[in-house]
Amino acid sequence: MSTIKKIAINSIVITFYPFLYLLSLCVRMREDYVVFINPKGGIFLDNCKYQYLKLSNIKKCFWLVDDKKYCRILKSEGINVIYYFSSEGFITFLRCSIIVMSDVRGWEFGKRLFIKGKSVIQLWHGIGFKKIGKLKAENYRIPENNLFIRYMIDLLSFFSQKLIPQGIPSVFAVTSEFYRDEVFYPAYPEIPFDHFIITGYPRNDVLNKKIEGEDIWTDKKILNNIASIKSKFDKIILYAPTFRDKGNNPLTDGAIDFKEINKNAKQMNHIWIMKFHGMPVVESNYEIDGEFSNILFYEIDKDVYPLLRDVDLLITDYSSIYMDFLLLDRPIIFYPYDLERYEKKDRGFSHPYDTMTPGKKVFCLADLLEFISKEAWNDDFKDERRRVRNFAFKYQDFESADRLLKYFEKI
């Protein structure tokens, strides 16, 4: 959705808020109604996806979308989807008693204005070491000499907190004491400490078992051919870098050369699967025997977690996907080619990079390909992976969605 359209919709919501708020008071909530909301218009992935698949057999669940095209796609997959900008969607949102989300960005288009009396379950969307919440804000401070802008931001923040419901979660799912105490509570101190509940993340359940509906919102072209891919190649390598807030990425930075990667992969009989995080630079989905014989491109913004079961080696930089991959205890290579810039000028880290990343670090493509060719499969980082995995995950049984069910009953 374009920025102009978003501004227009938000303006309409604010203009008609008094009427809409009075309407919301007249609508009786249903205790069995649960609405799931996700950012980017309501894409069907992450922790919300897997909790929906588990809970929809027990409660009346709705997947709320802001984009009409998602309605058509998800309805064809059997998802109980509703469009927010329709009378049915808006009334259903008003009637629900529980809202489930995996990102604070889910509050777009005035949703937070109508949550009085509702319970919020925050499942979040990953763990790692990037700064979030108030910790992240330290990297985005307005210069002290720009007092007018600082004053206006503080004023708007004060009135928004006083006049708009804040949507404090009744449950904020975390994976361990470490992440509760050292990351999430410091980042969101406005949330009571006892609301942070150690359950694990539902999306990790799919790493150990097949789940009905897991193929929804995935790259089916790759997943449906995974058996053939495994039989043809010796190793499957997943490259999954994170996004940069400043707009650059491994492609525009010249950190990736598809021809060199393909050449190395052919020599080793490996297949690389590229999973870029919101990078429209790569939109083509090449055939195995096409332009790059040993590279596939996973669809951008599609759920990659069902693929992880079949991945032999993960390459990433700052993405939290590596933390979840630790549960499979397989090799990880870290390729933070822009480490200094990312730490100082982009998101920044809540904890030292080296202590949080149990794997080989390389800083140029040549070193990356050489390590894969000669040493990666020796797997010298098992002890380090175990150390990080044990403080990151209290539960390693792939039953997080089940653990969360009791909190839906308590609310």
- pLDDT at residue 290, rounded to an integer: 61
Quick one: pLDDT band at residue 355, thresholds 50, 70, 90?
Answer: very high
Q: What is the pLDDT of residues 298-322, one digit of tens each?
A: 998 899 999 999 999 999 999 999 9
As given in the structure block, the two tokens for residue 379 are 């797997």
Q: What rounded mean pLDDT belongs to the chain?
A: 87
Q: How confident is the model at residue 142 (pLDDT cuts 50, 70, 90)?
A: very low
Q: Tell me the mean pLDDT in the region 130-154.
A: 61
pLDDT at 320: 93
When pLDDT is averaged across residues 331-360 and rounded to a whole number, the result is 92
- Kindly report which listed range (131-145, 161-175, 190-204, 346-360) carries the lowest average pLDDT score: 131-145
pLDDT computed for residue 285 by the predictor: 44
Query: Under 8 Å CB-to-CB from 393, ≥6 apart: which residues?
Result: 175, 176, 200, 326, 327
Sheet holding 96-101, edge to edge: 81-83, 60-65, 30-37, 96-101, 119-122, 171-174, 196-198
What's the token pair of residue 306? 């069902």
Tokens linked to 375 = 């040493």
CB 150 within 8 A of CB 200: no
In the three-class reduction of DSSP (H, G, I as helix; E, B as strand; rest coil), residue 336 is classed as: coil
CATH number of 211-392: 3.40.50.12580
Rounded distance between C-alpha atoms, residue 299 and residue 285, angstroms: 7
The rounded distance, in Å, linking the Cα atoms of 321 and 318 is 9
User: Torsion-angle region of residue 270: left (phi > 0), alpha (psi -120 to 50) or beta?
Assistant: beta
> Burial level of 90, CB count in 10 A (0-12/13-18/19+)?
buried
CATH fold for the domain made of 3-200+398-410: Rossmann fold (3.40.50)
Q: Which residue has the tokens 């708020």?
A: 21
d(CA 404, CA 399): 9
Alpha helix positions (H), 111-146:
133-137
Is the pLDDT at 153 greater than 80? The verdict is no
- Position 288 pLDDT exceeds 50: no
Give the amino acid at 39: P
pLDDT in tens, 10-69: 677 667 667 777 777 788 899 999 999 998 889 999 999 999 999 999 999 999 998 888
Confidence of residue 3 (pLDDT cuts 50, 70, 90): low
The residues spanned by each domain of the chain are 3-200+398-410, 211-392
Q: Which residues, other chains included, contact 224 with Cβ-Cβ below 8 Å and sequence gap of 6+?
A: none
Residues 177-217 have pLDDT tens digits of 999 999 999 999 999 999 999 999 999 999 999 999 999 99
Which helix (H) or strand (E) segment is 81 a member of? Answer: strand 81-83
Q: How far apart are CA 242 and CA 277, in angstroms?
A: 6
Q: Is the pLDDT of residue 117 over 70?
A: yes
Least confident stretch, 141-155, 173-187, 282-296:
141-155
Q: Is the pLDDT of residue 139 over 60?
A: no
70, two tokens: 């998602």
Identify the weakest region by mean pLDDT among 50-54, 123-127, 346-350, 392-396: 346-350
Phi-psi region of 379 (alpha: psi -120 to 50; beta: other; left: phi over 0): left
Spatial CA neighbour of 51 closest among 409, 406, 404: 404
Q: d(Cα 9, Cα 21) in Å, to the nearest integer?
A: 16
Encoding tokens for residue 110?
A: 């005035």
Q: Do domains 3-200+398-410 and 211-392 have the same CATH topology?
A: yes
- For residue 285, count other CB atoms closer than 10 A to its CB: 14
How many residues belong to the chain? 411
First to last CA, the chain: 34
Query: Which neighbouring-strand residues pair with 403?
Result: none
CB distance 330 to 313 below 8 Å: yes
The per-residue pLDDT for 286 is 43
**Percentage of the chain with pLDDT > 70?**
84
Confidence at residue 64, expressed as pLDDT on a 0 to 100 scale: 96
Q: Which of 78-87, 297-306, 344-353, 388-397 has the lowest mean pLDDT?
A: 344-353
What is this structure's pTM? Answer: 0.89
Joined tokens for residue 17: 């808020």
- Is residue 355 within 8 Å of 387, Cβ to Cβ? no
Which of 117-127 are b and which e, b meaning 16 or more Cβ less than 10 Å from the residue's Cβ? ebbbbbbbbbb
pLDDT of residue 289: 43
